[in-house]
Homo-oligomer: A and B are copies of this chain.
Amino acid sequence: MANRCQAELIAVGSEILLGQINNSHAQFISNELAKNGLYVYHHGAVGDNEARIRTAFEIASRRSNVVIVTGGLGPTVDDLTKEALAAFLNRPLVLSEAALEHLMQYFAGRQRQMPEENRKQAYCIEGGELIPNENGTAPGQYIYDKGVHFFLLPGPPLEMRPMLRNFVLPRLTEIFGDRQALISRVLHFCGIGESDVDQQIQDLTAGENPTVAPLAGEGEMLLRITATADSEASARAKIAPVEAELRRRFGPYLYGVDDDTLPSVVGRRLTERQETLSVAESCTGGLLASMLTDIPGSSGYFLGGVVAYDNRVKQGLLDVPADVLERDGAVSEATARLMAEGVRRRLSTTYGIGITGIAGPGGGTKDKPVGLVYVGVANEHQTQVYRLQYRVSRAQVRLRTCKQALWRLLGMMD
């Protein structure tokens, strides 16, 4: 383990602890390191308080050999990262002529005098190395001390990201030279429960390389396969047979891999087939249309839809006859069928989806309880209607219904 990267990420900034901003650096840096076979074991965030930042360094240096810190390198009195590390390492801060020169040039290039407070940014921890910042005033710093590699990077993502890619990653690769590639593959399933899958993969989850682990998903099921090897190609070669086995066991439920989502896969399939889609939504109230149109380029296959929250809309824009609404009710197999067929006919699309149900919390009856949903999927030849019964929150009923509808649409395309 001595020569293996055990990285820890520390984000500095009280605005993170107040929930005012999301610490998106943690995900970005972790992902970049993982792609390079470098392991991250801890994430942390701490406020603009010198004692607490110093303690975070103390804890990190006991358990990690790489500490990447973001934020707290600005010119204000609240920016304390450098000061805290200097104190922790018991090293002085010294003026760097190179850093001062960079600052001068930065401001000169903007026809501005350097404000006096920015001079603070030219101070570096003694024995450290500057990390050039092409997009801002704060230089980064690299310091090696008693077995720990510290990298200090500024908070703004447009400054931090190129510094990570141009300096930190090459340096870490150099240090942990016999690097192992760490590759992951995520499989997405729908129509099957997590516990059903879990029971059938215990032989696979017991493995150490590759590992197989379920990930949390709402209305779907994700499995992650992760392998390490001395090259990306051989890591992928380790993943392949496990993926093949999972496809053999759960193939009918697999809808995508890695960054795929149900809306993106539906979009890709429709584009390939040069087919189109329209949707008629009652209880999901526009959520399905919104998920579809989240995808850039969706206008190529998604023509639009009708949010038929009120029965008058189901009649007026979708031609659901009043007597069906009267006899079977708005939440019924017949209404879902007629909504799917109605929107498909009105918008002249290859497929039409119709959704009607009771998302709750109110509106349920004994015969038609909260969580009852009908999903209709229509093409030129047929209409399939699925009856779903959920016992989850309003938001979950809506989201799961939309995913089921897309999953059933994929089924009709097979």
What is A's interface to B at a CB cutoff of 8 Å? 11, 13-24, 26-34, 40-48, 52, 55-56, 59, 63, 71, 74-78, 106, 109-110, 112, 115-118, 134-136, 155-158, 162, 182, 184, 186, 193-196, 198-199, 205, 213-216, 218, 224, 226, 279, 281, 283-290, 292-294, 296-299, 302-310, 312-313, 316-317, 346-348, 360-363, 389, 391-396, 398-399
Contacts and interface: CB of A to CB of B under 8 A. Distances in A.
16 contacts: A18-B226, A19-B216, A20-B214, A21-B215, A41-B46, A42-B45, A42-B46, A77-B205, A78-B205, A115-B195, A118-B195, A156-B218, A158-B396, A281-B286, A287-B290, A317-B347
B313 A303 contact: yes
Most B-side CB within 10 Å, residue of A40, A43, A298:
A43
B317 A346 contact: yes
Return the 4 tightest CB-CB contacts between A and B, nearest first.
A285-B293, A286-B289, A19-B31, A19-B30
Nearest to A291: B286
A162 B393 contact: yes
A289 B306 CA distance: 10
B393 A158 contact: yes
A316 B216 contact: no
A361 B285 contact: no
Q: Which of A42, A46, A47 has the most CB of B within 10 A?
A: A42
A304 B288 CA distance: 14
A116 B112 CA distance: 69
A343 to B, nearest CB: 10
Given A42-B44, A44-B43, A290 B293 contact: no
Contacts of A13: 216
B186 A218 contact: no
Contacts of A28: 19
A304 B308 contact: yes
Given A216-B21, A296-B360, A309 B304 contact: yes
Given A21-B215, A76-B213, A109-B391, 16 more contacts: A14-B213, A17-B41, A18-B184, A18-B226, A19-B40, A20-B184, A43-B44, A71-B216, A75-B194, A115-B198, A158-B396, A281-B286, A283-B293, A285-B293, A289-B307, A312-B347
A249 to B, nearest CB: 16
B26 A40 contact: no
A316 to B, nearest CB: 7
Contact of A27 (B23, B307, B313, B392): B23
